[in-house]
Amino acid sequence: MPIERLRRYGELCRDPDTIPERIALLREHADAVDRQIEQLHRRRARLDEKLDWYDGELERLSEAQKL
């Protein structure tokens, strides 16, 4: 959560009547975290594809050298 939002959340915590606003802030943050997680999963999948390709290339080169 950006520092400005953390500060706002801290301010809201001083007032017991701001629970709905705190919930909204936390839900926004949860949504942002979910988007980041999805992006990381896509990046990881692409990384795995690259690693698989390189592993295959190494295997092919090794087999070619045996011939």
pLDDT in tens, 10-54: 999 999 999 999 999 999 999 999 999 999 999 999 999 999 999
Closest CA to 13 of 3, 27, 26, 30: 26
Tell me the residue type at 46. Answer: R
Residue that has been written with the tokens 């629970």 in this structure: 19
pLDDT for the residue numbered 15: 97
Sorted by sequence, the CB contacts under 8 Å of residue 5 that are 6+ apart come out as 25, 28, 29
Helix residue ranges, H only, 1-67? 3-13, 19-66
Banded model confidence at residue 57, pLDDT cuts 50, 70, 90: very high
SS3 53: helix
pLDDT for the residue numbered 67: 73
**Which phi and psi angles does 2 have, rounded to 5°?**
-60, 150
